[in-house]
């Protein structure tokens, strides 16, 4: 079958959940036996989000091949369960970078290099190269931003042209809009959708399907009105009702027959959707029997998108344990030895988050110490692991002033240091240790038991690492290195003995947790925290009326 392209644009406002709609549609089509991938086109001029502040951009999602990408790729992987790569995320910066490099090489000799056709051709070639790979039946292309944004215009133009290049029957345009409810008028309003669709017309695109985000159900009259004004059939007006969990959205979209409309319009032959396991997961995630608190200690706790994959991994790991993880957000900026007991009161697990720079480090160290001394299950991720080693060196080994050279280049005990191959690097973009690397696990370690295998591959994003000079001494003091990179002998995992569950990982397990394959370390961490909660009377027992299905109850 020829590849089919589905373009997804957004209108009216940002944050409507385009990434979730793309992921949900992708899942519905994939469970029908189609080979689906999703590509995100981002209109900013950064080559990738790697150099952006988490306040600006949220989490940077790293793929196996070491691309630093938009956090929506995390949703694509969590929903579809298949890894993405660099080609799944294109930015305006990357497009211009490549066009300008070609110009310098003389590839456009004699021509004036312009947005149309050179930039739009480059965009189209990025989309087509996924389709031409033969690996996929369906390529869902999510266009970042909102229609009408100046920076998004070349993408919309490229989509308009692509519809002719590959034939109208091979493309579909889905537009996501908002249908707000005006309390004072007691009515749903369709005007913003009409305007947004009009903007698309002006750019030469007629949407085939409208997905309307709404707080309350859309009745037939409203759907008809939208259909009439926007040149679509009434069946092509799909309501996307606010859901309790993002994982319910595929089920809501199925009830609205979004996948059927797509299959019909693209004239695809597809099997029946298989969603039994997805339904079970949604039940488990929405109606667990228990709840426990786990602290997430980091410096971006007021901007939780920065920890998107960690939050989702807790949902996956929680569902396996029939236990909701109530994340207790603890700012490392305001945490110290005096207030740690108070701020971390009632938690049954402590996760110290990844990060860069010295701000909040002392707070993170206080959190590690509190977890270690009180035998509370602890997971340190990347910088969180480095903090764990620093705390251990200072307070267990007695090495005063032990530190990472990231924060104290003159420290007497450089327990965490710049990787050798990082010392020559000056450029900041795309130069960290990025992507998936293998790691060999020590027999009988917590990690080996959790994973149930000897060798794993996990994703990295860091410049510093545990200094091998201190490895043996740390071991003598009870901090074992239980995961090593076989090629470069780098320490990837540490575990403290004499503690029920204390694990630090140099990699990012959260980037590989999916609905169908919850990450083993998160499953094991939540299990240990649940055990701790039971022993310390910290479990909340939940009682739900399970008679109504999750999605039905949302609609009422
Ligand atoms: N700043 C640390 C490093 O570069 C940790 C990075 C991280 O937590 N991702 O090594």
Which pTM does this prediction carry?
0.94
Residue-level pLDDT at 554: 43
Averaged pLDDT of the chain: 94
Task: Give the per-residue SS3 of 29-54.
Answer: HHCCCCCEEEEEEECCCCCCHHHCCH
Burial class (CB in 10 A: 0-12, 13-18, 19+), 191: exposed
- Residue whose entry in the numeric block shows the structure tokens 């209108």: 11
Distance 478 CA to ligand 1 centre (A): 24
Sheet holding 403-404, edge to edge: 403-404, 414-418, 464-466
Angstrom distance (rounded) from CA 28 to CA 259:
6
Share of the chain above pLDDT 70, in %: 98
Backbone angles phi, psi at 355, to 5 degrees: 170, 180
Which range (51-65, 128-142, 322-336) has the least confidence? 51-65
Angstrom distance (rounded) from CA 528 to CA 213:
39
Who has greater pLDDT, 456 or 421? 456
Res. 546 pLDDT band, cuts 50 70 90? low
Find the mean pLDDT for residues 245-256: 96
Res. 159 pLDDT band, cuts 50 70 90? very high
Residues 176-194 pLDDT 10s: 999 999 999 899 999 999 9
C-alpha torsion 309→310→315→321, nearest 10: 140
Enter the DSSP assignment of 486: T
Angstrom distance (rounded) from CA 357 to CA 474:
24
Pairing of strands 479-484, 187-188: unpaired
- How many other CB atoms are found less than 10 A from the CB of residue 231? 12
Nearest CA to ligand 1 atom 6: 462
Nearest CA to ligand 1 atom 3: 462
Residues 375-434 pLDDT 10s: 999 999 999 999 999 999 999 999 999 999 999 999 999 999 998 888 888 888 888 999
Residue-level pLDDT at 231: 93
For residue 212, give the 3-state DSSP assignment: strand
For residue 174, give the 3-state DSSP assignment: strand
Q: Is the pLDDT of residue 346 over 70?
A: yes
Q: In terms of Cα–Cα distance, which of 275, 204, 178 is closest to 516?
A: 275
Angstrom distance (rounded) from CA 450 to CA 448:
5
Distance 239 CA to ligand 1 centre (A): 42
Distance 353 CA to ligand 1 centre (A): 10
Q: In terms of Cα–Cα distance, which of 265, 184, 183, 257 is closest to 223?
A: 257
Which ligand 1 atom sits nearest the alpha carbon of residue 381? Answer: 8
Measure the CA angle with vertex 414, ends 412 and 420; round to 5°.
140
Candidate from 463, 467, 507 with most ligand 1 atoms within 8 A of CB, to mutate? 463
> Crossing angle of helices 153-165/120-132, nearest 10°?
50
Q: Is the pLDDT of residue 61 over 80?
A: yes
Res. 290 pLDDT band, cuts 50 70 90? very high
Residue-level pLDDT at 190: 95
Candidate from 68, 383, 490 with most ligand 1 atoms within 8 A of CB, to mutate? 383
Distance 170 CA to ligand 1 centre (A): 44
- Residue whose entry in the numeric block shows the structure tokens 């249908």: 179
Pairing of strands 89-91, 36-42: parallel
Angstrom distance (rounded) from CA 5 to CA 210:
16
Angstrom distance (rounded) from CA 436 to CA 420:
19
Which ligand 1 atom sits nearest the alpha carbon of residue 406? Answer: 1
8 Å CB contact between 458 and 506:
no
Residue-level pLDDT at 282: 95
Burial class (CB in 10 A: 0-12, 13-18, 19+), 121: middle
Candidate from 461, 466, 504 with most ligand 1 atoms within 8 A of CB, to mutate? 461
Find the mean pLDDT for residues 545-551: 49
Res. 168 pLDDT band, cuts 50 70 90? confident
Cα 365 to chain centroid distance, Å, stands at 26
8 Å CB contact between 26 and 140:
yes
Phi/psi zone of residue 370: left (φ > 0), alpha (ψ -120 to 50 degrees), beta?
A: alpha
8 Å CB contact between 285 and 325:
no
Q: Could you tell me how many residues make up the chain?
A: 556
Residue-level pLDDT at 545: 58
Residues with catalytic annotation? Answer: 382, 508, 510
Residue-level pLDDT at 555: 42
Which ligand 1 atom sits nearest the alpha carbon of residue 353? Answer: 8
Who has greater pLDDT, 56 or 179? 179
Residue-level pLDDT at 98: 96
Which ligand 1 atom sits nearest the alpha carbon of residue 461? Answer: 9
Residue-level pLDDT at 243: 92
Distance 476 CA to ligand 1 centre (A): 26
Backbone angles phi, psi at 449, to 5 degrees: -65, -40
Nearest CA to ligand 1 atom 5: 383
Res. 15 pLDDT band, cuts 50 70 90? confident
Find the mean pLDDT for residues 446-454: 97
Residues 69-103 pLDDT 10s: 999 999 999 999 999 999 999 999 999 999 999 99
Q: Is the pLDDT of residue 548 over 50?
A: no
Pocket of ligand 1 (CB under 6 A): 354-356, 382-383, 406, 461-464
Q: Is the pLDDT of residue 442 over 50?
A: yes
Which ligand 1 atom sits nearest the alpha carbon of residue 382? Answer: 8
8 Å CB contact between 335 and 369:
no
Scored b (16 or more CB within 10 A) or e, 83-112 reads: bbbbbbbbbbbbbbebbeeeeeeeeeeeee
Phi/psi zone of residue 106: left (φ > 0), alpha (ψ -120 to 50 degrees), beta?
A: left
Distance 462 CA to ligand 1 centre (A): 4
Residues 495-530 pLDDT 10s: 999 999 999 999 999 999 999 999 999 999 999 999
Nearest CA to ligand 1 atom 1: 356
Res. 553 pLDDT band, cuts 50 70 90? very low
Measure the CA angle with vertex 480, ends 478 and 485; round to 5°.
165
Q: Is the pLDDT of residue 223 over 90?
A: yes
Cα 456 to chain centroid distance, Å, stands at 21
Find the mean pLDDT for residues 24-46: 96
Residue-level pLDDT at 529: 98
Residue-level pLDDT at 82: 94
Distance 464 CA to ligand 1 centre (A): 6
Non-local CB neighbours of 427 within 8 Å, separated by 6+ positions: none
Angstrom distance (rounded) from CA 511 to CA 522:
11
């Amino acid at each position: 079958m020829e590849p089919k392209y589905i373009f997804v644009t957004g209108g009216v406002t940002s944050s409507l959940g385009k990434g979730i709609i793309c992921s949900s549609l992708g899942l519905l089509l994939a469970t029908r036996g189609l080979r689906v991938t999703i590509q995100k086109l981002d209109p900013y001029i950064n080559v990738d989000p790697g150099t952006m502040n988490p306040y600006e951009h949220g989490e940077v999602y790293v793929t196996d091949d070491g691309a630093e990408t938009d956090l929506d790729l995390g949703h694509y992987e969590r929903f579809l369960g298949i890894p993405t790569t660099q080609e799944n995320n294109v930015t305006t910066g990357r497009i211009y970078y490549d066009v300008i490099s070609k110009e310098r090489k003389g590839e456009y000799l004699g021509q004036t290099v312009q947005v149309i056709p050179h930039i739009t051709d480059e965009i189209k070639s990025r989309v087509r190269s996924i389709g031409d790979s033969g690996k996929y039946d369906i390529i869902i292309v999510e266009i970042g931003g909102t229609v009408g944004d100046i920076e998004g215009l070349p993408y919309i133009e490229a989509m308009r042209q692509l519809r002719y290049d590959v034939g109208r029957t091979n493309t579909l345009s889905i537009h996501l809009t908002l249908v707000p409810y005006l309390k004072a008028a007691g009515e749903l309003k369709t005007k913003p959708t009409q305007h947004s669709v009009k903007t698309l017309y002006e750019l030469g695109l007629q949407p085939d399907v409208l997905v309307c985000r709404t707080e309350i159900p859309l009745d037939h009259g409203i759907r008809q009105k939208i259909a009439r004004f926007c040149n679509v059939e009434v069946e092509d007006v799909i309501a996307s009702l606010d859901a309790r969990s993002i994982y319910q959205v595929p089920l809501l979209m199925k009830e609205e027959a979004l996948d059927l409309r797509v299959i019909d319009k693209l004239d695809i032959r597809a099997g029946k959707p298989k969603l039994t396991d997805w339904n079970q997961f949604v039940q488990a995630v929405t109606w667990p029997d228990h709840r426990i608190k786990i602290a997430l200690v980091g410096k971006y706790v007021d901007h939780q998108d920065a920890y998107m994959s960690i939050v989702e991994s807790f949902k996956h790991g929680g569902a396996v344990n029939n236990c909701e993880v109530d994340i207790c957000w603890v700012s490392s900026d305001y945490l110290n030895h005096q207030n740690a007991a108070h701020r971390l009161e009632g938690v049954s697990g402590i996760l110290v988050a990844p990060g860069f720079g010295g701000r909040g480090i002392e707070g993170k160290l206080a959190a590690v110490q509190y977890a270690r001394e009180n035998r509370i299950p602890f997971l340190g991720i990347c910088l969180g692991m480095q903090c764990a080693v620093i705390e251990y060196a200072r307070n267990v080994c007695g090495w005063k002033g032990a530190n990472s050279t990231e924060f104290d280049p003159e420290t007497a005990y450089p327990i965490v240091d710049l990787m050798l191959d990082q010392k020559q690097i000056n450029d900041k973009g795309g130069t960290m240790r990025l992507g998936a690397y293998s790691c060999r696990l020590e027999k009988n370690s917590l990690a080996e038991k959790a994973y149930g295998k000897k060798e794993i591959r996990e994703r990295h994003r860091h410049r510093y690492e545990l200094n091998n000079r201190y490895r043996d001494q740390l071991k003598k003091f009870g901090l074992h290195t239980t995961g090593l990179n076989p090629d470069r002998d780098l320490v990837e995992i540490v575990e403290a003995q004499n503690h029920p569950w204390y694990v630090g990982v140099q990699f990012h397990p959260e980037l590989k947790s999916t609905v169908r394959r919850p990450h083993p370390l998160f499953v094991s961490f939540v299990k240990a925290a649940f055990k701790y909660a039971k022993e310390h009377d910290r479990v909340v027992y939940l009682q739900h009326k399970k008679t109504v299905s999750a999605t039905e109850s949302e609609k009422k």
